[in-house]
């Protein structure tokens, strides 16, 4: 793993930054909670690192991996925070959603057991490799004509999600987390984060509906459903493989464009 902080310019990025505007808004809805989630991930993983025996050579690599994970995630939430500024700038009032996300992650951290918190983090991180395959290899038709800075942001982020895919899983195992807790937390986080995305998406679509006819609004919502079905048809079968008792994210297939894209990002940092 390596810490990379590319630069992005979103100063002229519209909210509907893709040719399929509904796809852009779906991704914008997910991006809005990413800074709050990833601060939460870092808080939990920092606690995990502090609980690992510093004198045990078997945990030395995991502690080092967690430190690198935290640094990568700090870049992710910082740069997604900058990207998310396009929403209020474009007239969407999202402050209440952001306050809700912050409170929700504080509630989880304060009320759930340490092992559940690890399992929640592990559950979310299982989404990284399937979504990296989708973004790096499989949806170029959706990205054609899209704002290049936004595409770079998501591809860089998911490239690194693939790179650190095993860290939360290894931490969960190190604290002897069990299979049934892992599966429970997997579905919990899917429902939790999916609810966040839906509430923001519905607001974005509602604002976009202003001045449109009922038939135009219906078609907009149908386009949104079609584009997400396309993405989930690719990702969901891979995501559900995490339910196997033998799930090992280290063995997740590498996206064909992974190393090529990594090289392009690293060249831009030179």
In tens, the pLDDT along 141-197 reads 999 999 999 999 999 999 999 999 999 999 999 999 999 999 999 999 999 999 999
Cα gap 179→160, rounded to integer Å: 26
Cα gap 166→62, rounded to integer Å: 10
pLDDT at 16 over 80: yes
Cα gap 121→41, rounded to integer Å: 6
pLDDT at 204 over 80: yes
pLDDT value at residue 259: 94
Q: Write b or e for each residue in 76-94: b if 16 or more Cβ atoms lie within 10 A of its Cβ, otherwise e.
A: bbebbbebbebbeeeebeb
Percentage of residues in the chain having pLDDT higher than 70: 100
Cα gap 98→124, rounded to integer Å: 19
Strands annotated E in 52-92: none
pLDDT value at residue 112: 97
Q: What is the pTM of this model?
A: 0.93
| Mean pLDDT, range 113-135, rounded to an integer | 96
Percentage of residues in the chain having pLDDT higher than 90: 85
Cα gap 23→29, rounded to integer Å: 10
Q: If you search the block for the tokens 């090992």, which residue do you land on?
A: 248
């Amino acid at each position: 793993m390596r810490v990379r902080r590319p630069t992005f310019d979103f100063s002229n990025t519209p909210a509907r930054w893709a040719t399929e505007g509904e796809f852009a808004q779906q991704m914008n809805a997910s991006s809005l909670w990413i800074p709050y989630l990833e601060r939460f991930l870092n808080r939990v993983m920092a606690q995990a690192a502090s609980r690992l025996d510093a004198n045990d050579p078997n945990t030395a690599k995991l502690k080092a991996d967690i430190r690198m994970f935290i640094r990568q995630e700090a870049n992710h939430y910082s740069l997604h925070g900058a990207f998310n500024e396009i929403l209020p700038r474009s007239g969407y009032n999202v402050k209440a959603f952001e306050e809700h996300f912050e409170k929700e992650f504080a509630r989880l951290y304060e009320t759930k057991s340490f092992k559940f918190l690890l399992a929640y983090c592990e559950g979310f991180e299982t989404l990284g490799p399937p979504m990296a395959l989708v973004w790096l290899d499989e949806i170029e038709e959706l990205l054609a004509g899209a704002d290049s800075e936004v595409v770079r942001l998501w591809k860089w982020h998911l490239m690194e999600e693939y790179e650190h895919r095993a860290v939360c899983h290894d931490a969960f195992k190190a604290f002897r987390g069990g299979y049934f807790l892992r599966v429970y937390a997997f579905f919990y986080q899917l429902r939790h984060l999916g609810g966040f995305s839906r509430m923001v998406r519905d607001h974005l679509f509602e604002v976009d509906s202003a001045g449109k006819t009922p038939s135009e609004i219906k078609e907009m919502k149908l386009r949104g459903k079609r584009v997400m079905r396309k993405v989930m048809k690719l990702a969901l079968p891979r995501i559900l493989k995490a339910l196997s008792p033998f799930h090992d994210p280290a063995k997740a297939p590498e996206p064909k464009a992974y190393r090529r894209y990594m090289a392009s990002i690293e060249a831009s940092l030179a």
